[in-house]
Structure 1
């Protein structure tokens, strides 16, 4: 989602369009869960208390974000989520273990330092998250979700190299690429006739193969290339 499109959506929401708010929340659900999990340093679900806090913070970010401040929306969201969850943990600790003023001051300063360091890290990773969200949108047209990729990715390096070779070969055939993009179905028969790759091998790794092709079709997703780097190697058909 580009800045211009996001700006228009946020303006619609601030003018009372609650449907756009719901759509924006659904779009960024993976980011909200990821941000909450990162701050908490544990796996969370939508039923977790911390995730509810993150969702409230995201809604507040929608209402208070200002483009003229010169910061990225996702960085701002992360900062609000992190601050609210830290406040939540602090209140829980105070309730369970009342601390002295000096101890609490030292504790708050340490948390502030950790918060700033983590915020800097979020600045470096938010662009990757945005690329993942865009890829997830593209993959949904093929009934593939980003969450599925781990289970469908080849475990052996040799196999990953082979699938990368398939993708590179596929990209050489412009008409097949157009067919994949427009019809949203991998042209297995046409591809096997031209290249000699086995149809069983293609079907076995179809989701991973399509993902690689989508990434190659979008060179602006520079950070996503790290997910499919397998190094040099020969490819056998």
Structure 2
């Protein structure tokens, strides 16, 4: 989401435009789950109470964010989510290791201890990764692909994956085909086959994975995604 758009939506939400608030929350739902999971150190779904705590904190971040504070909106939202989760664990007494001393300093919860050891850089990197995932997910949806289904589309055999990555590299060597790909939101299969020796059957069988690799190749700035989606981004160049 562009910074200008984000700022506009936050302003509209604060001024009572509920559709703007809903759009913000819907767009950043993956971020909220990621942040809650990062803080708690376990896999979180929307059925967990912690996810609800995170959602409420994010909603409050929309109302209280100050653009002149020197921090980004997502870093601010992360801070509120972290604080609310700590309070939640205190009240629910879900942490068994309360009042533990670390290096002579008493902390009030194990969650607080763990997070106090994390550097600001790690938080920023986690935030940047989620931003990349959100942008990637939005582009994938334009091609009819759900980000959450990527694992299902990924070929099991390493040789098959390597062949498809090579195919994506070849595709990305044709600027006119890239233009068609971007404009029409699909692979121009006929034109591509006419210029190469690839089979229609292979392309159709692995279309979603091939589209995914091509999109990643068109966005070399998404460096943090390489490990997350297990595609060797350095192997795909425009």
Q: TM-score category by the smaller chain? A: 0.7 to 0.9
Higher relative contact order (CA closer than 8 Å, sequence separation 6+): 1
Give the TM-score, by structure 2 length: 0.86
Distance 1:155 1:14, change over 3 A: same
Paired residues for 1:101-112 under 5 Å: 106-108=106-108, 111-112=111-112
- TM-aligned CA deviation for residue 61 of structure 1: 0.8
- Identify the structure with the greater helix proportion: 1
> Equivalents in 1 of 2:61, 2:80: separation in Å?
7
Paired residues for 1:117-136 under 5 Å: 117-118=117-118, 120=120, 121-136=122-137
Paired residues for 1:66-145 under 5 Å: 66-93=66-93, 106-108=106-108, 111-118=111-118, 120=120, 121-145=122-146
Paired residues for 1:32-43 under 5 Å: 32-43=32-43
- TM-aligned CA deviation for residue 100 of structure 1: 8.2
Contact (CA 8 Å) 1:78, 1:119: kept in 2 or not?
no
Q: Which stretches of structure 1, 4 residues or longer, exceed 6 Å deviation after superposition?
A: 99-102
> Equivalents in 2 of 1:166, 1:100: separation in Å?
57
Look up the match of 1:187: 188
Give the TM-score, by structure 1 length: 0.86
Contact (CA 8 Å) 1:167, 1:209: kept in 2 or not?
yes
User: Superposition RMSD on alpha carbons, in Å?
Assistant: 2.7
> Equivalents in 2 of 1:170, 1:101: separation in Å?
57
- TM-aligned CA deviation for residue 224 of structure 1: 2.5
Contact (CA 8 Å) 1:161, 1:230: kept in 2 or not?
no
> Equivalents in 2 of 1:151, 1:106: separation in Å?
46
Runs of 5+ consecutive residues of structure 2 not aligned to the other structure = none
Contact (CA 8 Å) 2:216, 2:233: kept in 1 or not?
no
Look up the match of 1:10: 10
Paired residues for 1:53-68 under 5 Å: 53-68=53-68
Bigger mean CA deviation after superposition, 38-47 or 19-28: 38-47
Give 3-state SS (helix, strand or coil) of 1:45's partner.
coil
CA deviations on 1:15-71 (whole Å, 9 max, x unpaired) are 211110000100001111111222222222222211111100000111111121111
